[in-house]
């Protein structure tokens, strides 16, 4: 729904998690009475142009809206799915209407005299509105993926909030909205499970991948993060500008190689002291990504520099070393030109879309 600002519940949970050192997903389950997480999207097998998740009666209108907006069909499809579940008669308690959940005041500007409950009219209006918000935040985007994320944030929280924040504003609802739709666009509506905006590191190869921490939940995304407690974890560097993704499993969970790897370095080797005990590795085959595992439990590393390991090989135990707020794995992926001997910083990319492209949800 356009221009809807999130609540502060996520901030409160984040503060509690930092104070008591419990992974956030465990805290959420405890507070919500045991409800599990909403299942994450995974790549729809066999999705093709003729057999996708987009209802056929809306495909042509959606393709036109995507061309109008400059955004991808899979992104807009995932957005409509999140807004209304493809229900043209949907309404909300705050007055949003139709398949694209327009508020009346926004519809008055972008509806062009149509009916918000007419799906064809609403999808066309969505293309016009997304073109407008995309244009307002385009100066903040460095690539197609960032533009998609910022446009979604502007749709949810308003372009002014995005401009004021210099990026995705730290509203929990907006952050969740962007993550959910980007994941659904890749997992449910992309023909080949490629991430929105693609990725610039080459083909990922045909080898099998697995989760780096089997059975765990992803607890923190890639990119800028708010710091609710000043200086709680030396709120700078990788704490506020998160250069990987975090997973947290039951205490003592085993970190494994997610793909074929050559081990390049192990131990406490980063100059910042934030990452604790680490394993640094590189893909032996193209595209030769650098893959880094941080916060391993002290003295738990099971591999040595020079080892070649297969997917699923134990690397270390999930730990709480370095600058950490509870046992977890911090997982980083760097481009092939990254330094092989030290943890990366400038050349790191978001691992989540790459995992999704290989079917890891």
The whole-model pTM stands at: 0.58
Q: What is the pLDDT of residue 50?
A: 43
Q: How far is CA 129 from CA 26, 105, 109, 274, in A?
A: 38, 12, 9, 42
Q: What is the pLDDT of residue 231?
A: 43
DSSP string, 31-55: HTTSPPPPPPP---TT-BTTB-SS-
Domain made up of 217-357: CATH architecture: Distorted Sandwich (2.70)
Residue 297 DSSP symbol: P
DSSP string, 260-282: -EEEEEEES--SSS-S-EEEEEE
Cβ(268)–Cβ(277) under 8 Å? Answer: yes
Which of 37, 60, 83, 146 is catalytic? The answer is 83
Rounded to the nearest 10 degrees, the angle between the axes of helix 172-184 and helix 144-157 is 130
Residue spans per domain, the chain: 9-189, 217-357
Q: Which CATH class is domain 9-189?
A: mainly alpha
The stretches of the chain forming alpha helices (DSSP H) are: 9-20, 24-31, 56-69, 73-84, 104-110, 119-137, 144-157, 159-165, 172-184, 351-357
Q: What is the pLDDT of residue 20?
A: 30
Q: What is the pLDDT of residue 252?
A: 95
Q: What is the pLDDT of residue 148?
A: 94
Q: Residue 314's beta-bridge partner residues?
A: 256
Q: What is the pLDDT of residue 225?
A: 58
Tell me the C-alpha distance between 264 and 245, whole Å: 21
| Cα angle: 42, vertex 184, 291; to 5 degrees | 60
Q: What is the pLDDT of residue 39?
A: 32
Query: Is 83 labeled as catalytic in the residue annotation?
Result: yes
Comparing C-alpha atoms, which of 70, 72, 351 is closest to residue 185? 72
Comparing C-alpha atoms, which of 262, 254, 343, 356 is closest to residue 305? 262
Q: What is the pLDDT of residue 272?
A: 60
Per-residue pLDDT of the chain (361 residues; tens, 9 = 90+): 555 433 233 323 333 333 333 333 222 222 222 233 333 344 543 344 444 678 999 999 999 999 999 999 999 999 999 999 999 999 999 999 999 999 999 999 999 999 999 999 999 999 999 999 999 999 999 888 889 999 999 999 999 999 999 999 989 899 889 988 988 887 788 776 677 876 666 677 778 899 999 999 988 887 765 554 434 445 555 555 677 899 999 999 999 999 999 999 999 987 666 889 999 999 998 888 999 999 999 999 999 999 999 999 999 999 999 888 899 999 999 888 777 667 765 678 888 888 888 888 7
């Amino acid at each position: 729904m356009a221009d809807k600002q999130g609540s502060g519940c996520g901030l409160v949970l984040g503060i509690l998690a930092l104070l008591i050192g419990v992974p956030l997903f465990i805290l959420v389950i405890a507070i919500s009475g045991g409800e599990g997480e909403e299942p994450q999207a995974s790549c729809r097998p066999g999705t093709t142009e003729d057999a996708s998740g987009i209802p056929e009666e809306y495909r042509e209108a959606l393709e036109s809206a995507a061309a109008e907006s400059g955004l991808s069909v899979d992104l807009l499809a995932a957005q409509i799915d999140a807004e209304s579940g493809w229900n043209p008669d949907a309404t909300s308690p705050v007055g949003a209407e139709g398949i694209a959940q327009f508020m009346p005041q926004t519809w008055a500007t972008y509806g062009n005299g149509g009916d918000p409950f007419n799906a064809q009219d609403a999808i066309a209006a969505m293309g016009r509105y997304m073109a407008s918000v995309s244009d307002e935040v385009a100066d903040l985007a460095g690539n197609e993926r960032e533009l998609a994320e910022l446009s979604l944030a502007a749709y949810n929280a308003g372009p002014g909030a995005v401009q004021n924040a210099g990026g995705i504003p730290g509203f929990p609802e907006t952050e969740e909205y962007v993550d959910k739709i980007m994941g659904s666009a890749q997992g449910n509506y992309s023909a080949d499970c490629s991430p929105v905006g693609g990725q610039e590191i080459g083909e990922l190869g045909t080898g099998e991948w697995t989760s780096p921490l089997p059975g765990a939940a992803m607890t923190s995304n890639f990119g800028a993060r708010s710091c609710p407690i000043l200086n709680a974890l030396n709120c700078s560097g990788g704490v506020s500008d998160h250069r990987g993704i975090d997973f947290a499993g039951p205490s003592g969970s085993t970190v494994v190689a997610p793909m074929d790897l050559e081990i390049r370095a192990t131990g406490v080797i980063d100059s910042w002291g934030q990452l604790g005990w680490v394993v640094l590795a590189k893909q032996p085959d193209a595209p030769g990504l650098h893959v880094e595992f941080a916060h391993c439990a002290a003295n738990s590393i099971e591999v040595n520099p020079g080892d070649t390991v297969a997917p699923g090989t134990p690397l270390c135990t999930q730990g709480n070393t370095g600058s950490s707020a509870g046992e977890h794995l911090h997982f980083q992926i760097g481009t092939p030109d990254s330094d092989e001997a030290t943890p990366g910083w400038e050349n790191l990319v978001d691992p989540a879309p790459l995992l999704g492209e290989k079917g890891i949800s």
